[in-house]
């Protein structure tokens, strides 16, 4: 069994002025740009040497499609020459090379193709195959394993948004006011297109390099076995696209809305991971500096109130037009219009009442707003029974756009914590159950990729020619739960929302996952493509996490599961998909202070020593 490490192009290669879809996504959404990242483009030798010193004999990297194909059909000889040097250095270090073609990012011209269809366009499989053919032709003699699509089952979250999510988790997102049924329509176009893209890319590679090993790495969640069987049965028994489409409401819309003492809260509420578990936040209206940390304040609305959230966003944006200097980051914009004509300006009057959250306010004729007086400039009593400051002004502006009058506001003074409770009701006790049903009561909660590869999905999801088109079984495993006691199942949503430090850890299921994969695809070698941990999660330090999971890999191998490789994510700290750099986003065996160290020095963490010891013990 080969032990190795991994990284990804967008997360480690410095921005060179040429955008990929993630660069635009991060800029449009006000997320953390990659900047110099870890400068892997120039310092790859250093990271390969670090991996070699640990005893690693495999290195996974991703190729930047945007660097390699600068325009449709225009290929960069210089970029290919660079990657050839990188792969050769890995080979010279005695390492197997594992190359990812599409690692959650793609060129803007691919997104614009088909009038902005991107991965939904019928031509996408051929575009990925053409790219794969170039890689196989120019680099294939130095590639041991290919990954066509990184975590294909996660790409659906660029097209569907759970009712508990303030924004699309992945690019490109869909236009505003897209209904749940329309979102599911996009997913039902995406899934078979991904299968076709993988199939055609694999064929293109093997036409040039017969015998090449090609696969993918779906993200697998750890669930009790009986629950996994139940969820998978739901996917395998879908009768038609219409049957799948009817499940959309479970994901995109809650069956009932919370109505508390207040409709919204504008009370110095920071968009913290803890608060985001309980409410939806608008785009920010103020940036506070607390304990050397930047904390964006935003308007809070009850979970599931999509129409109200859209209306608040438009009001906040409109307010910002006459108040220069207000923050623009952490917004909920999508980039779905790349390649399409510019959308007309939309006002709050155009916001459809998709869930009746606006209807109740308009019927009452008053917007009830929880506020926190006492902060000069933000919210203070005006001495005449009312309130002054930025937050009351925003509340009045929302009321004007929603109800036609800035006087149609009832202010409810509360502490920040009390204001959260004010917009919620006793129905909040069902939040976890509603999330769980949405996540695991539909096709999206299954490992639909491997079900399709095993021939267990209907053909409208996985075309028959795509079944079995893998040369090894790849998988990513990070998080799991041993039971569904209250509070357990919904914690898996933390990982999908990039709150990795809050995600549940269950090493014990990994052996079962590997044995199940062996049973599903007998005779195929298995590779754990990604497994790793942030600084700590669910009581596990990174070093404890790795030791526990590698023990499960050993147990599976002892039961004759043909595990060919195990890769730790990741060799160094990375720019993790636009997240602020902190303990919640740092998976690195070697720590790099990405924000404050211009030298980007690699510093070994305790986990690096532990991983090296574990590799040595296997020899």
The predicted structure's pLDDT at residue 9: 97
Distance between CA 89 and CA 95 in Å, rounded?
Answer: 9
Looking at the predicted structure, is the pLDDT value of residue 357 above 90? no
Q: State the Cα–Cα distance between residues 432 and 429, nearest whole angstrom.
A: 7
Closest-CA residue to 192 (of 378, 460, 585, 560): 460
Confidence of residue 520 (pLDDT cuts 50, 70, 90): very high
Q: Residues 6 or more apart from 447 whose CB is under 8 A from it?
A: 153, 218, 220, 221, 232
| pLDDT (tens digit per residue) in 208-263 | 999 999 999 999 999 888 888 888 888 888 888 888 887 766 676 665 666 789 99
Residue 582 in tokens? 């902190």
* Those residues with Cβ within 8 angstroms of residue 341's Cβ, 6 or more apart along the chain or in another chain: none
What is the token pair recorded at 136? Answer: 């196989």
pLDDT at position 332, please?
A: 78
Residues 579-615: tens digit of each pLDDT: 989 999 999 999 999 999 999 999 999 999 999 999 9
**In the prediction, which pLDDT does 141 show?**
98
Q: 367 falls in which pLDDT band (50, 70, 90)?
A: very high
Q: Is the pLDDT of residue 347 over 80?
A: no
**What is the mean predicted confidence (pLDDT) over 377-383?**
94
Take residue 36 and report the two structure tokens written for it.
């110099």
Contacting residues for 470 by C-beta, under 8 A, at least 6 apart: 202, 214, 215, 216, 453, 521, 524
Q: 118, 164 in Cβ contact below 8 A?
A: no
The whole-model pTM stands at 0.92
pLDDT at 146: 98
Q: What is the pLDDT of residue 294?
A: 77
pLDDT for the residue 578: 92
Q: Name the pLDDT band for 346 (thresholds 50, 70, 90).
A: low
- Band (pLDDT 50/70/90 cuts) for residue 133 is very high
Lowest-confidence range among 69-78, 421-430, 597-606?
421-430
Is the per-residue pLDDT at 270 higher than 80?
A: yes
How large is the average pLDDT for residues 429-453?
75
> Which residues, including other chains, have CB under 8 Å from residue 260's CB and lie 6 or more apart?
302, 421, 422, 423, 424, 425
Reported confidence tier of residue 275, pLDDT bands at 50, 70, 90: confident
Q: Give me 279's structure tokens.
A: 């409410």
Strands 293-302 and 540-541: unpaired
Q: What percent of the chain has pLDDT over 90?
A: 68
Rounded Cα distance between 376 and 213, Å, is 63
Per-residue tokens: 569: 């994510």
The residue among 62, 113, 31, 571 whose CA lies nearest residue 328 is: 31
**Tens-digit pLDDT profile for residues 112-125:** 999 889 999 999 99
Contact 265, 365 (CB under 8 A): no
Q: State whether the Cα torsion 392-396-397-399 is positive or negative.
A: positive
CATH code for residues 2-247+430-618: 3.20.20.80
pLDDT at position 100, please? 98
DSSP state of 472: S
Inter-residue contact 556 to 563 (CB < 8 Å) = yes
- Which pLDDT band holds residue 521 (cuts at 50, 70, 90)? very high
Per-residue pLDDT band for 292 (boundaries 50, 70, 90) equals low
Q: Where are the domains of the chain?
A: 2-247+430-618, 264-424
Please report the pLDDT score of residue 243 as a whole number.
84
Q: How far is CA 1 from CA 56, 181, 543, in A?
A: 11, 45, 20
Mean pLDDT of 554-583: 95
Kindly report, residue by residue over 458-492, the tens digit of the pLDDT.
999 999 999 999 999 999 999 999 987 766 777 78
pLDDT, averaged across the chain: 90
> Can you give the pLDDT at residue 46?
98
pLDDT at 153 over 70: yes
Q: What is the pLDDT of residue 306?
A: 85
Sorting pLDDT into bands at 50, 70 and 90, what band is 549? very high
Q: Which long-range contacts (CB under 8 A, 24 or more apart) does 336-340 make?
A: 336/116, 336/172, 336/173, 336/174, 336/175, 337/116, 337/175, 338/24, 338/108, 338/111, 338/112, 338/116, 338/118, 338/172, 339/111, 339/112, 339/113, 339/114, 339/115, 339/116, 339/117, 339/118, 340/115, 340/116
Higher pLDDT pick, 446 / 523: 523
pLDDT score recorded for residue 473: 98
Q: What's the pLDDT band for 340 if we cut at 50, 70, 90?
A: low
User: What pLDDT is recorded for position 303?
Assistant: 86
| Confidence (pLDDT) at 87 | 98
By mean pLDDT, which of 187-191, 322-326, 327-331, 380-384 is the weakest? 327-331
Out of 166-180, 201-215, 350-364, 523-537, least confident range:
350-364
């Amino acid at each position: 069994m080969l032990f190795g490490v991994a990284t990804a192009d967008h997360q480690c290669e410095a921005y060179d002025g040429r955008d990929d879809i993630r660069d635009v996504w991060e800029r449009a959404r006000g997320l953390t740009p990659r900047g110099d990242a870890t400068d892997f483009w120039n310092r790859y030798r250093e990271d390969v040497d670090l991996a070699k010193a640990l005893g690693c004999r495999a290195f996974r990297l991703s190729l930047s499609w945007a660097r390699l194909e600068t325009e449709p059909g225009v290929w960069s000889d210089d970029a290919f020459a660079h990657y050839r040097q990188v792969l050769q250095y890995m080979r010279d270090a005695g390492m197997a090379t594992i190359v990812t073609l599409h690692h959650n990012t793609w060129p803007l011209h691919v997104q614009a193709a088909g009038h902005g269809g991107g991965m939904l366009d019928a031509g996408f499989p051929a575009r990925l195959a053409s790219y794969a053919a170039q890689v196989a032709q120019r680099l294939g003699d130095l590639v041991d394993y290919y990954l066509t699509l990184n975590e294909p089952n996660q790409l659906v979250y660029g097209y569907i948004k759970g009712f508990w999510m303030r924004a699309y988790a992945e690019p490109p997102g869909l236009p505003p006011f897209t209904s749940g049924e329309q979102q599911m329509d996009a997913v039902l176009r995406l899934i078979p297109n991904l299968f076709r893209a993988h199939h055609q890319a694999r064929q293109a590679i093997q036409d040039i390099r017969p015998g090449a090993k090609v696969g993918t790495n779906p993200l697998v969640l750890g669930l009790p076995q009986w629950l996994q069987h139940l969820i998978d049965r739901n996917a395998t028994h879908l009768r038609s696209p219409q049957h799948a489409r009817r499940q959309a409401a479970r994901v995109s819309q809650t069956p009932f809305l919370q109505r508390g003492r207040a409709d919204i809260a504008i009370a110095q509420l920071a968009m913290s991971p803890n608060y985001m578990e309980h409410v939806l936040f608008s785009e920010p209206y103020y940036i506070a500096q607390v304990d050397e940390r930047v904390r964006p304040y935003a308007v809070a609305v009850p979970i599931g109130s999509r129409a109200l959230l859209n209306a608040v966003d438009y009001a906040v944006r409109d307010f910002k037009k006459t108040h220069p200097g207000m923050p623009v980051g952490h917004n909920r914009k999508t980039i779905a219009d790349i390649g399409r004509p510019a959308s007309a300006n939309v006002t709050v009057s155009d916001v459809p009442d998709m869930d009746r959250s606006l209807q109740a306010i308009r019927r009452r004729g008053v917007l009830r707003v929880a506020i926190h007086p006492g902060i000069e400039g933000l919210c203070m009593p005006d001495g005449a029974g009312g309130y002054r400051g930025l937050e009351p002004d925003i509340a009045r502006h929302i009321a004007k756009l929603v109800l036609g009058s800035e006087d149609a506001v009832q202010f409810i003074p509360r502490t920040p914590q009390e204001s959260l409770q004010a917009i919620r009701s006793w129905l909040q006790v069902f939040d976890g159950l509603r999330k769980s049903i949405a996540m695991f009561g539909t096709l999206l909660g299954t490992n639909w990729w491997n079900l399709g590869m095993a021939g267990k999905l209907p053909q409208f999801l996985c075309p028959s020619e795509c079944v079995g088109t893998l040369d090894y079984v790849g998988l990513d495993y990070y998080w799991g739960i041993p039971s569904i006691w209250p509070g357990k199942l919904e914690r898996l949503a933390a990982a999908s929302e990039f709150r990795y430090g809050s995600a549940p850890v269950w090493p014990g299921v990994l052996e079962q996952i590997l044995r199940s994969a062996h049973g599903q695809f007998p005779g195929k070698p298995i590779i754990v493509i990604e497994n790793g941990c942030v600084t700590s999660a669910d009581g596990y330090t990174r070093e404890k996490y790795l030791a526990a999971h590698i023990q499960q890999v050993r147990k599976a191998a002892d039961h004759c599961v043909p595990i060919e490789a195990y890769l730790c994510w990741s060799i160094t700290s990375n720019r993790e998909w636009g997240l602020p750099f902190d303990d919640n986003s740092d998976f690195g065996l070697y720590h790099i202070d990405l924000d404050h160290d211009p030298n980007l020095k690699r510093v070994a963490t305790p986990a690096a020593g532990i991983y090296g010891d574990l590799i040595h013990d296997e020899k």
